[in-house]
Amino acid sequence: MLLMRNLFKKLPTAPLAMFAVLMALLPFVPEPHLWQKLKMLSDGSLSKPIDIFDLFWHGTLLIVLILKLFFVSTDKSADK
């Protein structure tokens, strides 16, 4: 767990945030794949392997960013 926390802390926040938002919103038209796949997941129609891969592909950097921000915020609160 400590190794993972240190790896996330070493990632540069600004480029990670930029690429995470970009990947989450691509393609812009007609609607972002991540949004489309999340809607499919919520209504139970996410069953094709390509759709599952798209959900993973477009959401991974966003999850990495969220984990990095979580680890950074918990480290700052532990220092106080």
13-71: per-residue pLDDT in tens?
Answer: 999 999 999 999 988 888 888 999 999 999 999 999 998 999 999 999 999 999 999 98
pTM of the model: 0.79
Question: Can you say whether the dihedral through the CA atoms of 67, 73, 77, 80 is positive or negative?
Answer: positive
Where residue 78 falls among pLDDT bands split at 50, 70, 90?
A: low
Mean pLDDT of 63-80: 81
Q: Who's near 61: CB < 8 A, 6+ residues apart?
A: 16, 19, 20, 23, 24
Q: Is 6 exposed, middle or buried (0-12, 13-18, 19+ CB in 10 A)?
A: exposed
What does the longest C-alpha to C-alpha distance in the chain come to? 48
Quote the pLDDT of residue 33. 85
